[in-house]
Amino acid sequence: MVKTDIIIIGAGPVGLFTVFEAGLLGLNCTLIDNLDKPGGQCAELYPEKPIYDIPGVPFQTAQEHVDALLEQIKPFDYELHLSERVDSIEEIEYEDDNFWKVKTTEEKEFFSKNIFIAAGAGSFEPRRPPNIEDPDKFLTNGVEYAVRSVDKYKDKNIFIFGGGDSALDWTVELSKIAKSICLVHRRDAFRGAQHTEELMRNLVKENKVNLLTPYLIDSIIGDKKVDSITLKNFETNEIESYEADELLFLFGLNKKLGPILDWNIDLNGKKIKVNTENYQTSKEGIFAVGDINDYPGKLDLILSGFHETTLAVQEAYKRIYPGERVPFGYTTSNSKLQEKLGVKK
């Protein structure tokens, strides 16, 4: 069983930045994620979508953001365990002190004074089109639930299904390279950002996007690969056929808290309650940072999670070194960081 200063459940952007903040205070971390790569939602759901609201970074794709975070934490002491889920948390006694032990699906055990739950939306699964039997039989052969590579869509006949941010964002982005692109939604009202909806509607006026509402997917036709689809028009009940190469179903995620529900931590709906002084949960030494937590005024944004974990790491330090002052200083005067980066004085 491995002892570490902070166990981080979830290697999304907030989990990764926790390693940085912990590293500044000389703390080491163990990061665990059930995905096969770090980066959470950014890497899994929208790697090539632009992000514009990281302070000081006018533009970055989500994957570039993850890569930059990985670069930023390189100097620090952490282990990354991928493709395993933390299933249980248990309180244990070690050298007359209380610790937390976690166990993963790979039967690995780690223990620490501090657990950071940076589990985002929990273990998530994309929502499938409800009326199509086994759409996954075309998965990667014309059916996708996220854009993994923009290149795949070049010069293709694309159909995007959905009415939220992802559907609007990708309609606008992929219209730049598609042979043809159709946005299909069950009503002519969208839940996404107003600005992106305006961009999409302008593209419709310019005949660069075909907007089909109120429509619903009716069937997917093809042998091993998608060849065509039929859509049902809700108003007329007519079934229409279309040639199609790539279908993107962007209906959002089913958020599955999974094992987190069994950890006896106070929840608010599907999120973990925290106090905003140090982002500790109802259990001392268990913190929740990033999208997984809830408090009045919470915004599910990357930068909110960065703030939260910065404060939480201060409390984690105090739990490891009770009575000691938490070292505070700007990164330029942080000797540990300067030493690791090899900056000469």
Ligand X SMILES: Cc1cc2nc3c(=O)[nH]c(=O)nc-3n(C[C@H](O)[C@H](O)[C@H](O)COP(=O)(O)OP(=O)(O)OC[C@H]3O[C@@H](n4cnc5c(N)ncnc54)[C@H](O)[C@@H]3O)c2cc1C
Nearer to ligand X among residue 12 and residue 23 (C-beta): 12
Least distance CB 64 / ligand X (angstroms): 12
Residues in the site for ligand X, rule: CB under 6 A?
Answer: 9-15, 32-35, 40-42, 45-46, 49, 51, 53, 85-86, 118-123, 165-166, 258-259, 290-291, 300-303, 305
Q: 3-class SS at 220?
A: strand
Least distance CB 137 / ligand X (angstroms): 25
Nearer to ligand X among residue 14 and residue 229 (C-beta): 14
Q: Judging by beta carbons within 10 Å of its beta carbon (0-12, 13-18, 19+), is residue 139 exposed, middle or buried?
A: exposed
Q: 3-class SS at 113?
A: coil
| CA–CA distance, 72 with 74 (Å, rounded to integer) | 6
Buried b (16+ CB within 10 A) or exposed e, 287-325: bbbbbbbbeeeeeeebebbbebbbbbbbbbbebbeeeee
Least distance CB 16 / ligand X (angstroms): 7
Nearer to ligand X among residue 138 and residue 170 (C-beta): 170
Nearer to ligand X among residue 162 and residue 285 (C-beta): 162
Residue nearest to ligand X (CB): 120
| CA–CA distance, 83 with 234 (Å, rounded to integer) | 42
- How does strand 29-32 pair with strand 78-81? parallel
Nearer to ligand X among residue 120 and residue 135 (C-beta): 120
Least distance CB 144 / ligand X (angstroms): 14
Least distance CB 333 / ligand X (angstroms): 28
User: How many DSSP H helices and E strands does the chain contain?
Assistant: 7, 24
